[in-house]
Amino acid sequence: MVRARSSWTSVAHLAHLAHLAPLASLGCASGTAPPVAPPQSVELPPAPPRPREVATADTATAPPAVPPRAPASAEPAASSRVREPATELGGRLSPSLILGTVKPSLPRIRRCYELALAANPKLTGKVTVSFVIGVDGATRSVGAGPADFPDPLLLRCVETVISALRFPAPEGGDVHVSYPLVFVPDTPIAASTPSGSAPAPSTLTKK
């Protein structure tokens, strides 16, 4: 009987040991180093944008070269000559030629003044006669005025005398003339030497 109990005790002891074996293995496993956690993924910040390249004097694109303008032609286009009024063409005529043409007509201008004095003995003053000498020497666009006195008959008579004059042909175009006349009773109308002529307008003074 004693031997049989010993066998049962041994069997029971082995069974108890067999039950504790997994626990022992777990204990050994718990004694080992804890498992290492997998590395977390780190998101790197985006790279800063590359700065734009600043154009330097060497890399800057030069503006397209402007072609030089062609020199203006000395002679205007045909259409310009057609549109250009003849009165704007600058001509030249010697003051002595203008004065030499007007001087022979002074007695007739004096006669116009004497007729006006018969109606108005106190008539006196200055009148400026303007006219144009054409390229052919003919006188046109004659106008007497402004005047210091309101006498249309005298002014019209002076215009008639000047309109009948014919001058030498000027050079380069029409010549614009401004010719002052001073009327004083019992004083002869004297012609003074003009100060000079220039391209349009040309001015001639007479007192």
Distances (CA, A) of 148 to 127, 133, 206: 6, 25, 16
For residue 30, the SS3 value is helix
Q: Would residue 174 be called left, alpha or beta, if left means φ above 0 and alpha means ψ between -120 and 50 degrees? A: beta
pLDDT attached to residue 68: 55
pLDDT by position in tens, the chain (length 207):
444 444 444 444 444 444 444 444 444 444 444 555 555 554 555 665 555 544 444 444 455 555 555 444 443 332 222 222 233 345 788 888 998 999 999 999 999 999 999 999 999 999 999 999 999 999 999 999 888 888 999 999 999 999 999 999 998 899 999 999 999 987 655 554 443 343 333 333 344
Domain ranges of the chain: 90-183
Q: Identify the CA nearest to 116 among candidates 32, 19, 62, 181.
A: 181
Q: Is the peptide bond before 146 cis (omega within 30 degrees of 0)?
A: yes
pLDDT attached to residue 146: 85
- Cα gap 7→4, rounded to integer Å: 5
Architecture in CATH for domain 90-183: 2-Layer Sandwich (3.30)
**What's the chain's length in residues?**
207
- Cα gap 33→136, rounded to integer Å: 129
pLDDT attached to residue 200: 34
Q: Would residue 72 be called left, alpha or beta, if left means φ above 0 and alpha means ψ between -120 and 50 degrees? A: beta
Please, which residues bridge with residue 178 across strands? 130
Distances (CA, A) of 132 to 103, 160, 178: 17, 14, 9
pLDDT attached to residue 174: 92
- Cα gap 88→82, rounded to integer Å: 12
H helix intervals, 122-179: 152-163
pTM above 0.85, yes or no: no
